[in-house]
């Protein structure tokens, strides 16, 4: 700050959001600027609070699936999966093999869709007019079409059920999937040409907003943001669920940097994870065998009184977990949601203070929060 | 009545004005002929800007739609051609809000201060042979002066809106405009030296070879500087939609917004026209005597499409990077270009100071080599900061997977429960 006999400057406080084009929902940051530089930042949220946890206590176990769709609404399949795993643990049942494969396949398709949106919005925040975003959306639309074939819905899918999935895939799903994977290789290459080696993307994201591994672990950060800091921690590998122990895939981790992961690393991890998801989907499609898709569970589920379970998955944004407690009734006594977006926000101050306004927007994009999940 | 404009009059060189004046002067009194001729010129100017803005807005929306796998406006008229009219009607009927805490007078003056420089800029551009609305002998200087007015308008908007995003945008806009003024002026000096005149008509007739190949570095610097002054990506600091909502015009709505937008779109067309005149041979082309206007229009459209293409593709630079680009890259390059051009002219011109087409050819070769050298030199200075991306995992990096850990049983002190 410049201060002298003839000039006096003072910091300026600006509310970024809740209505702002790049806060990814109704997120608000109260930021104090010195010119363009950030001195202080305070995240404020709760504008999208819908009481999902309380609502879950009023519905039976199967109905709660529809609530999970609306948490992180760009990765509904993975939310379904986390909740169903928790209920299965509560009941002590396991999904049949075909159900497991279908769930893995759907979850990975959803991960591609969610990462495509994440990448697209980082580039949107970088100031492209929307061309890369539309390229990402083009592929995402194809995935949503596949979901429509699976369950009739595109966003709020509610495809999975405790004990498996609701429907088997229709016969024409498999050729459509094959076609999509073939086309997606081309589209992914095209997207890579457009964005990955763009020098402006490089200079805007390299070396900006470092997140050291220690700070990430202390802040309970998970998912791509944690992996970008140099730790290959992925629940699909660490504690495999569904069919993840039957398929081969890598966990992309950028070269370890003591300063931490920067915006480009977070961006890069997502781009690489899309490739791994395609690998998983191909293996699932090759390995899947005919059989039942849902375990024999009663229509109305009544777990043992006092039973509790913690079901967790590696969602597109990090560790998503449901903690369920049963009192023997038809609905959970308590349903606690550990949402990755909320916990990834714990490092906001670490990421933003000292950087510029333009970097702040990109950093928020690289953390890839979803307000439906933050506020629940 | 018989009013005839004498050759001693300052507007004698402005052929359109002279012709109209002489024509209506046959029946009208001289003072009225002045007004009629002036009105004709203003009418043409205003409509050129507004039609240019309308055409450009349609072209931009339509083309960006194509770039983004969308259709773009296609509902009204063939290919959605009447969309600008629909836009204008919509904006006219929208509520025209003025923030309660705004500085009302300044707030109101901004749209006018935005549109006026664009119109003034077009006034000296020759659309075809002898058709510049005003054939100034200091045309290049005049254009540089007039475009600088925009920075005042941007700061007026940011200041009077009493909105912090607008203030951010205004501060950025002024910083960018002031920085980019310098390399733009220096780059144009080479063109002026080659033409031996500041009149745009003379610049056009001097281009026996288009100056884009004689002065490639000046062309690059001028286009980059123009993009910055027009707030086009990758230099759209003052608007920066994803950061500042709409930057300096965040608080503008209705007809005021429409005027600011028209000034921006018209500004691109006007700047494209200036680029064509200075670097692409203006109205020169086959049968230029009859079809000059067509060549001018086509070249202008081509340059405008270039601006659209860049906007559809590139992300935005950060403000410090943008200013660094101006001071550390564009300014040295334009100075090198100025020095080289001056030396070349000194050694190549004949006794009467005329440069032949062959001389320009020699200069082209030298300047292209110089440009390649500059790009290599500055590129190697910048590139070390940039890491290339290998497809897949980088070589030598194996995925780090930590083994699953058993969570240790917690030892609670005796007598305490969890």
Reply yes or no on whether the pLDDT at B386 is more than 50: no
Across the interface, whether the CB atoms of B321 and A204 are under 8 A apart is answered yes
Q: What is the mean pLDDT of residues B162-184?
A: 88
Interface with chain A: mutation pick from B69, B243, B314, highest number of A CBs within 10 Å: B243
User: Would you call A297 an interface residue with chain B, using a CB distance cutoff of 8 Å?
Assistant: no
CATH number of A49-347: 1.10.645.10
Across the interface, whether the CB atoms of B234 and A192 are under 8 A apart is answered no
User: Which B residues 393-412 touch A at CB under 8 Å?
Assistant: 393-394, 397, 399-402, 404
Nearest CA-CA distance, residue A208 and chain B, Å: 12
Domain ranges of chain B: 104-383
In this predicted structure, what is the pLDDT of residue A353?
85
Residues in chain A within 8 Å Cβ distance of B312:
129, 131
DSSP B257-314: HHHHHHHHHHHHHHHHHHHHHHHS-TT-STTHHHHHHHHHHHHHHHHHHHHHHHHHH-
Picking from B317, B318, B402, the nearest residue to A232 by CB comes out as B402
Kindly report, residue by residue over A152-205, the tens digit of the pLDDT.
Answer: 888 888 899 888 888 888 989 999 999 999 999 888 888 777 777 777 888 888
In this predicted structure, what is the pLDDT of residue B418?
47
Across the interface, whether the CB atoms of A194 and B393 are under 8 A apart is answered no
In this predicted structure, what is the pLDDT of residue A113?
92
Picking from B313, B387, B393, the nearest residue to A252 by CB comes out as B393
Q: Rounded to 10 degrees, what is the CA torsion of A338, A339, A340, A341?
A: -150
Residue of B nearest to A139 (CA): B69
Count other C-beta atoms under 10 Å from residue B367's C-beta. Answer: 22
Across the interface, whether the CB atoms of B400 and A131 are under 8 A apart is answered no
Rg of chain A in Å (alpha carbons): 21
- CA B41-B43-B45 angle, to 5 degrees, is 70
Across the interface, whether the CB atoms of A206 and B242 are under 8 A apart is answered no
- Give the C-alpha separation, A98 to A315, whole Å: 21
Q: What is the mean pLDDT of residues A205-222?
A: 85
The alpha helices in B216-253, defined as continuous H runs, are 216-229, 241-244
Distance, first Cα to last Cα, chain B: 109
Reply yes or no on whether the pLDDT at B409 is more than 50: no
Across the interface, whether the CB atoms of A254 and B394 are under 8 A apart is answered yes
The alpha helices in chain A, defined as continuous H runs, are 52-56, 64-69, 76-91, 97-125, 131-151, 173-195, 199-205, 213-218, 224-228, 235-238, 263-287, 340-344, 348-352, 357-367, 371-375
- Give the C-alpha separation, A173 to A170, whole Å: 5
- What stretch of H or E contains A33? strand A28-34
Mean pLDDT of chain A: 87
User: Would you call A185 an interface residue with chain B, using a CB distance cutoff of 8 Å?
Assistant: no
Across the interface, whether the CB atoms of A203 and B401 are under 8 A apart is answered no
- Per-residue exposure over B150-172, b if at least 16 CB sit within 10 Å of its own CB, e if not: bbebbbbbbbbbebbbbbbbbbb
Nearest CA-CA distance, residue B385 and chain A, Å: 8
Interface with chain A: mutation pick from B172, B245, B315, B386, highest number of A CBs within 10 Å: B315
- Give the C-alpha separation, B149 to B143, whole Å: 10
Picking from B243, B311, B386, the nearest residue to A358 by CB comes out as B243
In this predicted structure, what is the pLDDT of residue A115?
92
In this predicted structure, what is the pLDDT of residue A78?
92
User: Would you call B168 an interface residue with chain A, using a CB distance cutoff of 8 Å?
Assistant: yes
Residue B243 Cα to chain centre, angstroms:
22
In this predicted structure, what is the pLDDT of residue A104?
92
In this predicted structure, what is the pLDDT of residue B408?
46
Domain ranges of chain A: 49-347
Across the interface, whether the CB atoms of B386 and A199 are under 8 A apart is answered yes
Kindly report, residue by residue over B217-237, the tens digit of the pLDDT.
Answer: 889 899 988 888 888 777 887
| Between residues A202 and B303, the one the model is more confident about | B303
Q: What is the mean pLDDT of residues B18-22?
A: 79
User: Which A residues 55-114 touch B at CB under 8 Å?
Assistant: none
- Per-residue exposure over A240-256, b if at least 16 CB sit within 10 Å of its own CB, e if not: bbbbbeebebbbbbbee
Q: Cis peptide before A289, with omega less than 30 degrees from 0?
A: no
Kindly report, residue by residue over B129-158, the tens digit of the pLDDT.
Answer: 777 777 778 888 898 888 888 888 888 988
Proportion of chain B above pLDDT 90, given as a percent: 2
Interface with chain A: mutation pick from B165, B168, B231, B242, highest number of A CBs within 10 Å: B242
In this predicted structure, what is the pLDDT of residue B383?
57
Across the interface, whether the CB atoms of A203 and B317 are under 8 A apart is answered yes
Q: What residue has token string 């363009």? A: A36
Residues in chain B within 8 Å Cβ distance of A135:
68-69
Proportion of chain A above pLDDT 90, given as a percent: 17
**If 0-12 CB within 10 Å is exposed, 13-18 middle and 19+ buried, where does residue A234 land?**
buried
| Nearest residue to A36 via CA among B239, B250, B322, B319 | B319
Kindly report, residue by residue over B30-79, the tens digit of the pLDDT.
Answer: 788 888 888 888 888 888 888 888 888 899 889 999 888 888 888 888 88
User: Would you call B390 an interface residue with chain A, using a CB distance cutoff of 8 Å?
Assistant: no
In this predicted structure, what is the pLDDT of residue A110?
92
Nearest CA-CA distance, residue A15 and chain B, Å: 9
Reply yes or no on whether the pLDDT at A283 is more than 70: yes
User: Would you call B387 an interface residue with chain A, using a CB distance cutoff of 8 Å?
Assistant: yes
**pLDDT class for A107, splitting at 50, 70, 90?**
very high
Reply yes or no on whether the pLDDT at B391 is more than 80: no
Across the interface, whether the CB atoms of A231 and B234 are under 8 A apart is answered no
Reply yes or no on whether the pLDDT at A285 is more than 80: yes
Picking from A14, A230, A237, the nearest residue to B401 by CB comes out as A237
Kindly report, residue by residue over A359-371, the tens digit of the pLDDT.
Answer: 888 898 888 888 8
Coil, helix or strand at residue A34: strand
Residue of A nearest to B383 (CA): A199
DSSP A139-192: HHHHHHHHHHHHHS-SSS---EETTEESSPPPTTHHHHHHHHHHHHHHHHHHHH
**pLDDT class for B246, splitting at 50, 70, 90?**
confident
Q: What is the mean pLDDT of residues A228-239?
A: 85
Q: What is the mean pLDDT of residues B263-281?
A: 88
In this predicted structure, what is the pLDDT of residue B410?
45
Secondary structure tally for chain B: helices H, strands E: 15, 0
Across the interface, whether the CB atoms of B404 and A238 are under 8 A apart is answered yes
**pLDDT class for A1, splitting at 50, 70, 90?**
low
Kindly report, residue by residue over B190-218, the tens digit of the pLDDT.
Answer: 888 888 888 888 888 888 888 888 888 88
Across the A:B interface, residue pairs with CB atoms under 8 Å apart total 128
| Between residues A318 and B132, the one the model is more confident about | A318
Residues in chain A within 8 Å Cβ distance of B164:
12, 14
Q: Cis peptide before A18, with omega less than 30 degrees from 0?
A: yes
Coil, helix or strand at residue A100: helix
In this predicted structure, what is the pLDDT of residue B399?
46
Residue A116 corresponds to which tokens in the numbers above?
């495509």
Q: What is the mean pLDDT of residues A350-356?
A: 85
Reply yes or no on whether the pLDDT at B395 is more than 50: no
> Strand pairing of A37-44 and A28-34?
antiparallel
- Give the C-alpha separation, A4 to B63, whole Å: 51
In this predicted structure, what is the pLDDT of residue B397?
46
In this predicted structure, what is the pLDDT of residue B394?
43
User: Would you call A250 an interface residue with chain B, using a CB distance cutoff of 8 Å?
Assistant: yes
User: Which B residues 199-218 touch A at CB under 8 Å?
Assistant: none
**pLDDT class for A219, splitting at 50, 70, 90?**
confident
Region of poorest pLDDT, from A198-202, A245-249, A319-323, B86-90: A198-202
Reply yes or no on whether the pLDDT at B388 is more than 50: no
């Amino acid at each position: 700050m410049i201060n002298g006999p003839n000039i006096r400057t003072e910091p300026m406080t600006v509310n970024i959001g809740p209505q702002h084009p790049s806060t990814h929902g109704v997120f608000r940051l109260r930021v104090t600027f010195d010119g363009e530089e950030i001195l202080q930042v305070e995240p404020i949220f709760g504008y999208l609070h819908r009481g999902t946890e309380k609502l879950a206590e009023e519905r039976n176990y199967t109905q709660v699936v529809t609530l999970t769709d609306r948490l992180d609404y760009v990765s509904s399949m993975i939310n379904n999966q986390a909740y169903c795993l928790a209920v299965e643990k509560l009941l002590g049942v396991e999904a049949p093999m075909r159900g497991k494969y279908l769930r893995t396949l759907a979850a990975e398709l959803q991960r591609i869709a969610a990462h495509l949106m994440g990448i697209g919005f980082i580039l949107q925040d970088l100031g492209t007019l929307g061309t890369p975003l539309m390229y990402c959306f083009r592929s995402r639309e194809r995935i949503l079409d596949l979901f429509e074939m699976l369950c009739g819905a595109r966003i709020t899918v509610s495809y999975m059920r405790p004990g498996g999935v609701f429907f088997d895939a229709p016969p024409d799903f498999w050729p459509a999937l094959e076609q999509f994977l073939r086309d997606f290789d081309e589209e992914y290459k095209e997207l890579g040409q457009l964005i990955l080696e763009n020098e402006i993307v490089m200079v805007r994201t390299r070396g900006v907003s470092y997140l050291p591994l220690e700070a990430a672990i202390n802040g309970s950060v998970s998912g791509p943001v944690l992996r970008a800091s140099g730790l290959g921690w992925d629940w699909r590998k660490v504690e495999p669920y569904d069919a993840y122990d039957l398929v081969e895939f890598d966990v992309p981790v950028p070269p370890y940097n003591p300063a931490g992961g920067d915006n480009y690393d977070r961006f890069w991890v997502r781009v690489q994870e899309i490739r791994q998801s395609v690998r998983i989907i191909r293996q699932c499609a090759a390995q899947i065998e005919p059989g039942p898709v849902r375990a024999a569970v009663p229509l109305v589920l009544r777990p043992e009184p006092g039973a509790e379970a913690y079901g967790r998955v590696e969602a597109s944004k990090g560790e998503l977990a449901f903690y369920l407690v049963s009192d023997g009734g038809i609905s959970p006594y308590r349903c606690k949601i550990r949402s990755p977006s909320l916990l990834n926000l714990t490092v906001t101050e670490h990421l933003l203070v000292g950087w510029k306004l333009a970097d702040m927007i990109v950093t928020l994009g690289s953390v890839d929060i979803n307000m439906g999940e933050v506020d629940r | 009545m018989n009013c005839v404009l004498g050759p001693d009059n300052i507007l004698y060189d402005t052929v359109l004005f002279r012709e109209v004046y002489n024509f209506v002067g046959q029946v009208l009194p001289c003072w009225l002929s002045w007004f009629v001729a002036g009105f004709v010129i203003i009418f043409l100017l205003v409509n050129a800007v507004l039609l240019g803005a309308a055409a450009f807005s349609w072209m931009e929306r339509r083309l960006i739609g194509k770039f983004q796998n969308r259709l773009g406006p296609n509902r009204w008229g063939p290919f959605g051609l009447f969309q600008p009219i629909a836009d204008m009607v919509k904006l006219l009927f929208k509520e025209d809000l003025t923030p309660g805490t705004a500085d009302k007078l300044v707030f109101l003056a901004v749209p006018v201060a935005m549109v006026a420089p664009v119109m003034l800029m077009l006034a000296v551009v020759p659309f075809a042979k002898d058709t510049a609305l005003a054939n100034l002998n200091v045309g290049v200087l005049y254009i540089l002066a007039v475009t600088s007015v925009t920075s005042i308008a941007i700061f007026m908007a940011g200041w009077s809106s009493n909105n912090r995003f607008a203030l951010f945008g205004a501060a950025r806009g002024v910083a960018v405009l002031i920085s980019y003024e310098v390399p733009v002026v220096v780059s144009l000096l080479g063109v002026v030296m080659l033409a031996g005149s500041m009149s745009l008509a003379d610049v056009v007739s001097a281009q026996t070879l288009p100056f884009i190949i004689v002065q490639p570095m000046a062309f690059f610097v001028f286009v980059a500087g123009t993009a910055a002054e027009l707030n086009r990506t990758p230099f759209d600091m003052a608007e920066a939609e994803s950061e500042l909502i709409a930057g300096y015009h965040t608080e503008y709505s209705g007809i005021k917004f429409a005027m600011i937008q028209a000034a921006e779109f018209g500004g691109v067309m006007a700047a494209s026209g200036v680029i064509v005149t200075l670097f692409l041979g203006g109205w020169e082309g086959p049968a230029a005597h009859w079809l000059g206007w067509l060549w001018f229009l086509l070249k202008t459209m081509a340059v405008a499409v270039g601006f659209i293409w860049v906007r559809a593709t590139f992300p935005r630079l950060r403000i410090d990077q943008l200013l660094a680009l101006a001071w550390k890259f564009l300014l040295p390059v334009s100075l090198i270009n100025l020095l080289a051009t001056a030396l070349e002219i000194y050694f190549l011109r004949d006794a009467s100071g005329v440069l032949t087409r062959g001389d320009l050819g020699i200069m082209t070769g030298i300047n292209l080599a110089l440009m390649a050298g500059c790009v290599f030199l500055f590129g190697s200075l910048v590139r070390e900061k940039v890491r290339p991306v290998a497809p897949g995992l980088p070589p030598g990096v194996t995925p780090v997977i930590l083994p699953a850990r058993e969570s240790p049983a917690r030892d609670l002190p005796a007598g305490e429960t969890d």
